[in-house]
C-alpha cells in the first residue's frame, strides 16, 4: 500500500539494527478492525501503527495478533515520522520531543501490562538464552554490563501463543518497566545491537528515546522524515 512507511526504531549509533515498524499514515485506507488486524498479521512486524488523526496524534497500535493501548517503539517511531509534540494512543496522552539525534516519548510504567523482567548474572548468560526461553508470558531478560554507568544488556521474548514474533529486537515498553523498577536512567543494548535510552521523571513518568531511520535507509545516513 502506498501510504505504508517502514521504519527501524532504536537504531545503534551507526544506524544499524533497530526494530521494524509499519506505519499506515492514513488510517482511512484501512478503516475496519478486522482489516487492520489482518494487515498487521500479513506485514508480520512486532507492531504496526494506523494513524487516525495526524494533527492530534491519534493512533491505533496492532501486533500481528492483537490491539495494544500502549507500546514504546511504535510511538517513538511515529513521533519521529510525524514530528508532533503529542501522541494519543488509547492509554493516554504521550508527550514527545526530538534532540536532533534521539526521539523521545514520555509515558507511565503502569501502562505496561503482561510483561515480566528477569535479571541474569551477566551479559553472557543473557546472550546464551535460547529464542524463546522455556516458559510462558512476555519475558524481558537483562543483566548489567556496567551497573555504575547504567548500561544494560537485554533481550525480549514475547512468547505469545501465535508465535509470530520469537524475539523482539527492541522493546520500549519493557525498557520503561525496567527503568521504573530500578528507578534510574538506563542505556540499554537489546537484541542484535539496538540502543534504548531511558530516564525516570519526578512525577512517576518514564522517558524513553532512540534513533529512528527509514528501513530502506543505509546505515550511517542522515535521518529524513516529514509529512510528504
Convert the pLDDT of each residue in 76-114 to its tens digit. Answer: 999 999 999 999 999 999 999 999 999 999 999 999 999
Quick one: DSSP state of residue 48? E
Q: Which residue has the higher pLDDT, 61 or 228?
A: 61
Q: What is the pLDDT of residues 212-228, one digit of tens each?
A: 999 987 776 655 565 43
Q: What is the pLDDT of residues 142-191, one digit of tens each?
A: 999 999 999 999 999 999 888 889 999 999 999 999 999 999 999 999 99
Report the CATH superfamily, name and number, of domain 115-205: Diaminopimelate Epimerase; Chain A, domain 1 (3.10.310.10)
The reply to whether domains 4-104+210-214 and 115-205 share a CATH topology is: yes
pLDDT at residue 217, rounded to an integer: 79
pLDDT at residue 222, rounded to an integer: 57
Write the DSSP string, 92-133: --EEEEE-SS-EEEEEEGGG--SEEEEE-SSHHHHHT--SSP
Residue 13's CB is within 10 A of a number of other CB atoms, namely: 12
**How many residues does the structure list for the chain?**
228
The residues with which 153 forms a beta bridge, in sequence order, are 143, 189
- All three cell numbers of 47, joined, read 507492531
Quick one: DSSP state of residue 183? T
The class level of CATH for 4-104+210-214 reads: alpha beta
**Percentage of the chain modeled with pLDDT above 90:** 90
* Domain-wise residue ranges, the chain: 4-104+210-214, 115-205
For 219: left if phi > 0, alpha if psi spans -120 to 50, otherwise beta; the answer is beta
Longest CA span, the chain: 49
pTM of the predicted structure, to 2 decimals: 0.95
Asked whether the bond before 132 is cis by omega within 30 degrees of 0, the reply is: yes
pLDDT at residue 61, rounded to an integer: 98
Amino acid at each position: 500500500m502506498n501510504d505504508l512507511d517502514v521504519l527501524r526504531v532504536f537504531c545503534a549509533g551507526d544506524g544499524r539494527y533497530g526494530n521494524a515498524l509499519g506505519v499506515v499514515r492514513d488510517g482511512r485506507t484501512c478503516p475496519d478492525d478486522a482489516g487492520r488486524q489482518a494487515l498487521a498479521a500479513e506485514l508480520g512486524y512486532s507492531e504496526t501503527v494506523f494513524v487516525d488523526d495526524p494533527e492530534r496524534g491519534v493512533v491505533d497500535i496492532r501486533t500481528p495478533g492483537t490491539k495494544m493501548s500502549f507500546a514504546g517503539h511504535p510511538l517513538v517511531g511515529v513521533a519521529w515520522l510525524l514530528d508532533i509534540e503529542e501522541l494519543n494512543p488509547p492509554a493516554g496522552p504521550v508527550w514527545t520531543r526530538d534532540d536532533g539525534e534521539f526521539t523521545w516519548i514520555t509515558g507511565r510504567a503502569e501502562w505496561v501490562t503482561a510483561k515480566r523482567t528477569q535479571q541474569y548474572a551477566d551479559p553472557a548468560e543473557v546472550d546464551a538464552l535460547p529464542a524463546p526461553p522455556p516458559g510462558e508470558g512476555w519475558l524481558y531478560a537483562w543483566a548489567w554490563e556496567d551497573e555504575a554507568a547504567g548500561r544494560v544488556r537485554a533481550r525480549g521474548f514475547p512468547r505469545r501463543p501465535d508465535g509470530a514474533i520469537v524475539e523482539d529486537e527492541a522493546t520500549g515498553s519493557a525498557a520503561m518497566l525496567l527503568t521504573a523498577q530500578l528507578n534510574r536512567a538506563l542505556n540499554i543494548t537489546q537484541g542484535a545491537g539496538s540502543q534504548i535510552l531511558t530516564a525516570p521523571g519526578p512525577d512517576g513518568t518514564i522517558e524513553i528515546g532512540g534513533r529512528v531511520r527509514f528501513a530502506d535507509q543505509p546505515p550511517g545516513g542522515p535521518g529524513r522524515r516529514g509529512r510528504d
